[in-house]
Amino acid sequence: MSEEPGNGPDNAALEGQTPKDQRAALPVMRIQAQYVKDLSFENPKGPAALAQAQGRPQIELEVDVRAGQPSPNGQQEMVLELTVTVKAGDSTLFLIQLAYAALVLVQHVKEEVREQFLLVECPRLLFPFARRIIADLAREGGFPPLLIEPIDFLALYRNRLARRQRQQAAADGADSPAPEA
């Protein structure tokens, strides 16, 4: 990556600083630890259910991303929650619920973009590890490995913002007095 003017975040704030000062002011996100926070696997009928299933199983995936409150030193817990339900008709073949978390150090990130930084970039880094856990767990349960397609965390974040704005607009509309007739 070059260090030419115009490249990188907020170069106006970096002008006049030495290269060492510039590096110190660049956004930093370091994953200090990652871990399984919660894991559940339900296999009600065992792998025999797959042989009895007619047609192709339906796979439902739910995704949620949460960030905890930052500590004074800049650390923050980020949790990627994945729920996978595999069904054949009305029968559930298996269900996996995974909360995969990380302790993340975030520094030099403006407050207005911190949430996006945590809810888009961090899960993007954690997803391959969570995906592998789900694939291995399905295999250990007697089913073929379940390989989840990559997730567009930016689109999820934008949907979350749009939903929040709609809720806020609805709340503001409910709070405003009704026009007089």
Q: What is the pLDDT along the chain (181 residues), one digit of tens a residue?
A: 444 444 444 444 445 555 555 556 788 888 999 999 999 999 988 777 777 777 788 999 999 999 988 888 878 999 999 999 999 888 889 999 999 999 999 888 888 888 888 899 999 999 999 999 999 999 999 888 898 999 999 999 999 899 988 988 888 876 656 555 4
Q: What is the pLDDT of residue 175?
A: 61
The answer to whether 96 touches 87, Cβ cutoff 8 Å, is: no
Q: What is the pLDDT of residue 171?
A: 83
Q: What is the pLDDT of residue 177?
A: 60
Q: What is the pLDDT of residue 7?
A: 43
Q: What is the pLDDT of residue 21?
A: 57
Q: Write down the domain spans for the chain.
A: 26-167
Of 130, 77, 65, 128, residue with least CA distance to 102: 77
Q: What is the pLDDT of residue 3?
A: 44
What phi-psi label fits residue 46: left (phi over 0), alpha (psi between -120 and 50 degrees) or beta?
left
Q: Which residues contact 155 (CB under 8 A, 6 or more apart)?
A: none
Domain 26-167 part of CATH 3.40.50.1980: no
